[in-house]
Structure 1
Amino acid sequence: MAEYQVRLINENLGLDETIEVDEDEYILDVAEFEEIELPFSCRSGTCSSCTGRVIEGDVDDSAGQPEMFFNKDQRAAGLRLLCIGRPKSDCTIETHMESRISEF
C-alpha cells in the first residue's frame, strides 16, 4: 500500500502542515486525526464545504459527486472534495476553498 505526503496550506490561516496519508484513506479523516481543523459538513461528497485546490500532485475524489459542484474548468484548476479525496501521489493542497469556487 502506498503512502503519500500531503501538504495542507492556507496562507490566510497560517496553515502549512504535512501529513502522511495512505492511498486508501481520506485526506479529511487523516487531517482530523492529526488535529488539523478543516471545514466539512456531509463527509460523503454531497456538499462543497470541504473543497480544496490541488496545486501539485493528484487527488481522486470520484467516490462522491464532485460534478455537482465543479464545472470542467474548476476541476482542471484542481478543485477537489477532501472528505472523499484520496491521494494518488505526494501533493500540495490549498484548503478552505469553498468561498472561492466561483473564481475558477
Structure 2
Amino acid sequence: MGAESADVYILRPDEDASEDDEPWVNPRPASDVVRQELEERVDIDEDDFDDLSAYVDLDDIAAVVDTNTDEESVTFDVNDHEVTVHESGAVAVDESTD
C-alpha cells in the first residue's frame, strides 16, 4: 500500500509553544503544510490549490520525511511556484518557476 492510499504527515514544531516550553513535534498532513506555506509566501489561496497528489507523487514525499531513507528533499511545481519538502519537515517555496 503506497502513500497514494493514505495520508502523508510531516513532523513540524508546535507553532503555539512559547520560547520557555519544551518544543513539541506536531504531525500535520503534508497537503496542509504545503498549502499553508504557499498561502504565507505567495499570492495563492486555498481555492487555487488542488489535492497535493496532483502536483507530486505522495510516495516521494513519504520517502523524504521517512528517517529510514537517504532521500533529502523532493521538489515539485504548484501553480508556477517551486516547492521543496526537506527531510527535516521544512518546506521552501520559490516565488515563481517562470
More strand by proportion, 1 or 2? 1
Instruction: Give me the TM-score of the superposition, normalised by structure 1.
Output: 0.29
Of structures 1 and 2, the larger Rg is shown by 2
Greater RCO between the two (CA within 8 Å, min separation 6)?
A: 1
More helix by proportion, 1 or 2? 2
Instruction: Give me the TM-score of the superposition, normalised by structure 2.
Output: 0.30
